[in-house]
Amino acid sequence: MANKVTDMSKIRKVIKFHCNGKSKLFISNYLSFSRNTVKKYISLFELLGLSFEAINAKTDAELEVLFSQNTLKTIDPKLQKLFEFFPQMDRELKKVGVTIQLRWERYIALYPDGFKSSQFRSPDERNECACEDWERRKQKKGCYFS
């Protein structure tokens, strides 16, 4: 089940088995976790850089804080400026004679360290979630993304 809260004793067992050299497949089968869940907890454990003894000494509440954090995606400030420029660009592109090139020139005048022309026309797809109406922009007729 997605987003199900995991018992901290099972997380301890995942880490214990990992430290004892057991494979992710073995751990996932033994504890009835998916392999992706096992990989998630192992990578978090390695990222924390703590030993198994340090993890085992922590209380369940402390473990929950360490392993159940919701990580927020951070957006590059340069990309955020581009997304803030989109609504204005949408309005301007509806006018006769306004082109994407003219809008890019305006963008570069406002943000000299901003994206170059090719990046301006097709922003990085890894950050699609940053723009609420990204899908609408991609599917819009006459869309300015090539």
Tens of pLDDT, residues 3-56: 566 778 888 889 999 999 999 999 999 998 888 888 888 888 888 788 888 888
pTM: 0.46
Examine the pLDDT at 92 and tell me if it is beyond 90. Answer: no
18 or 122, which is more confident: 18
Sign of the torsion angle spanned by Cα atoms 20, 23, 28, 34: positive
Give me the helices (H) in 58-121, please.
60-67, 77-93, 100-110, 117-121
Q: 19-28, 63-72, 106-115, 117-126 — which is least confidently predicted?
A: 117-126
